[in-house]
Structure 1
Amino acid sequence: MKNDVDHLPPAQQEELALATRILMDEFAVAISRATQPWKKNGKVRKVILFGSYARGDWVDEPENGYQSDYDLLIIVSHADLADIAEYWYVAEDKILRDAAIARPVNIIVHTLEEVNRGLTRGEYFWVDIAQDGVALYELHGTALATPQPLTAADAYEMASGYFADWLAKVDTALEGADFYIGKGHKNDAAFTLHQAAERAYTCFLLVRSQYVPRSHNLKFLRSLAEDRETRLVEAWPRATKVDRRRFELAKRAYVEARYSAAYDIGSDDLQAIRAAVAMLRDTVETVSREWLDGLRQKADL
């Protein structure tokens, strides 16, 4: 694992340094009034940049709607410190609102034990981080475990199970959305389309990496998935403001379509989102079947 971001332009280096500082500062505030020893003595053990900015193949074309996110893994000293709402929400919000950070920042939070368990199992997501990641911050004595190989046969067995399970869940959600559209229940349809898209990304990520974050943020899931498979980009056009607004409508539907009286979605937008999710579903099926075929051949099954 590398420990510098010298391969990045100065602007990105400064943004990552600021984002890391905000995360560390707000975590310190979150645990400052704790009484339980595990919380009072809580530590951030590592902050690791992973994904396209770590590898060096990021995209930075905001004028065209294409801009890679910063993906950060935060490793903490206790599992309960991974609670986003309690320990990391304020930091995420500050980063989002800070004009000096021009690119989106996504975080996942785990313990060192969780990460090392994934590495010893050979799970692709964690192995990729160990190989390509950049340590932005780390305490002494927090080395990652040596990645162990996952056999093609084991990978195929895991991936094929995920694929069958989650693709069926995507189809169930799409059927539910069609029912609500037919009844004219637009908000229920929008929420259910969000669920179909979330399940499609979950299907893809589990098949390809054996990991999906504990998140309902469609933009985060899209970013992680598209980072591994560029063909998924086509499902959500970004060329026009209308295209981008429709994705935001789908993203917001998880909360607002259920709980906000201000959430409003028209029939044209709903049908466009339905078409996008259907395309996403079909692309996920295509690329996942290709991946499974490759694993089957490697395993000589």
Structure 2
Amino acid sequence: MRSGTDFLPDGKQRELAFVVDAIREGFDFAIARRTMPRLRGGKLLKIILFGSYARGDWVEDPVGRYFSDYDLLVVVDREELTDVPEFWAKTEERLLAELAGGTTLRTPVSIVYHSLDDVNEKLALGRYFFIDILRDGTALFEEPGHPFAEPRPLSPAEALKETQDYFDEWFESARDFEESARDAIGRGKSKLAAFLLHQASERYYHCLFLVRTLYSPKTHNLNQLRQLAEDIEPRLKQVWPRETKFERRCYELLREAYVKARYSRHYRISAEQLEWLSARVALLHQIVREACEARIATLAEAA
């Protein structure tokens, strides 16, 4: 794995330097007041850029309103420090505020958090997501003396079995939520339908991750799942068009549904918005199914 950002334009290098400083400062602040033995002396070990910016194929399309994120893997020295609300929420809020300001940061940032032991375990299990990061990623920050384990590639037969098992479990689960959402729409249960469509979308994304990489990020953040999924399967960019105010509002209602459709009395979504979202989730279903079946067919041929 290389280090540094010399291969990126100067503006991107400055942005990433700011992001790294913000992550380190936010972690130092979050850990400084901790006195519990299991947290005392906790360390931030690595910040690694992966995905489209590491590969050099990022997209900036103001007309189509599509911008690739900076995808970052943050590695800490113990699992407890991966708790986002506890240790990372303020940093993510700061980055969102800077993005909204549009001066210091103009590129969205998507971060996944793992302990070193967890990453090394997944490398030993042959998880493609982490193997690809080691191959294509670039280190933005590293504490010396904390190497990654040597990855163990899976045999074709092992990869096929794990992939098929994930597809059978997660695609069926996603489809069940999608069908339940359509039933809720028919019964006029709009808030329930919105929540179920969110769950279907989330599970389709997780299904794709697991089939393509044997890994899926531990998050309910639909924006993060969407960005990471579109990075590994570009056809998914067509699922959520953002040309009109109506389209953008519908997606925002879906994103909010995980919490607000269940707990907020003020959450409202119209029948027209639900029908549009249902059609987009059906397209997500179709593309994920095609991508997963193609991956399984490739593995079956290799096995």
> Could you say whether these structures have the same fold, taking a TM-score greater than 0.5 normalized by the shorter chain as the test?
yes
Q: In the TM superposition, what is the alpha-carbon distance from 1:40 to its structure 2 partner? A: 2.2
The reply to whether residue 292 of structure 1 matches residue 301 of structure 2 is: no
Please give the alpha-carbon distance, in whole angstroms, between the structure 2 residues aligned to 1:222 and 1:123.
20
The reply to whether residue 13 of structure 1 matches residue 17 of structure 2 is: no
Q: In the TM superposition, what whole-angstrom CA distance separates every residue of 1:182-207 from its partner, at most 9, and x where no partner exists?
A: 12111111111000000000111000
Q: In the TM superposition, what is the alpha-carbon distance from 1:55 to its structure 2 partner? A: 0.8
Q: In the TM superposition, what is the alpha-carbon distance from 1:279 to its structure 2 partner? A: 0.8
Please give the alpha-carbon distance, in whole angstroms, between the structure 2 residues aligned to 1:59 and 1:186.
35
Normalised by the length of structure 2, the TM-score is 0.96
Q: In the TM superposition, what is the alpha-carbon distance from 1:101 to its structure 2 partner? A: 1.4
Q: Look up the equivalent residue of 1:279 and give its one-letter code.
A: L
Q: In the TM superposition, what is the alpha-carbon distance from 1:244 to its structure 2 partner? A: 2.3
Q: Look up the equivalent residue of 2:208 and give its one-letter code.
A: F
Q: In the TM superposition, what whole-angstrom CA distance separates every residue of 1:69-102 from its partner, at most 9, and x where no partner exists?
A: 1111111011100000100000000000012211
Unaligned runs of 5+ in 1: none
Normalised by the length of structure 1, the TM-score is 0.96
Please give the alpha-carbon distance, in whole angstroms, between the structure 1 residues aligned to 2:19 and 2:264.
30
Q: In the TM superposition, what is the alpha-carbon distance from 1:261 to its structure 2 partner? A: 2.7
Please give the alpha-carbon distance, in whole angstroms, between the structure 2 residues aligned to 1:46 and 1:38.
20
Unaligned runs of 5+ in 2: none
Aligned to 1:266, which of 262, 265, 270?
Answer: 270
Q: Is the 8 A contact 2:78 2:117 kept in 1?
A: no
After TM superposition, the structure 1 = structure 2 runs for residues 214-225 of structure 1, keeping only pairs within 5 Å, are 214-225=218-229
**Any idea what SS the aligned residue of 2:114 has?**
strand
Please give the alpha-carbon distance, in whole angstroms, between the structure 2 residues aligned to 1:87 and 1:267.
39
Q: In the TM superposition, what is the alpha-carbon distance from 1:32 to its structure 2 partner? A: 1.1
Q: In the TM superposition, what is the alpha-carbon distance from 1:239 to its structure 2 partner? A: 2.8
Superposition CA RMSD, Å: 1.2
The reply to whether residue 206 of structure 1 matches residue 207 of structure 2 is: no
Aligned to 1:179, which of 178, 183, 195?
Answer: 183
**Residue in structure 2 matched with residue 83 of structure 1 by the alignment:** 83
**Residue in structure 2 matched with residue 226 of structure 1 by the alignment:** 230
Q: Look up the equivalent residue of 1:285 and give its one-letter code.
A: R
The percentage of aligned residue pairs carrying the same residue is 44
**Any idea what SS the aligned residue of 2:296 has?**
helix
The reply to whether residue 93 of structure 1 matches residue 80 of structure 2 is: no
Aligned residues: 299
**Residue in structure 2 matched with residue 276 of structure 1 by the alignment:** 280
Q: Which moved more, 1:195-204 or 1:171-180?
A: 171-180
Aligned to 2:197, which of 193, 197, 210?
Answer: 193
Q: In the TM superposition, what is the alpha-carbon distance from 1:63 to its structure 2 partner? A: 3.3
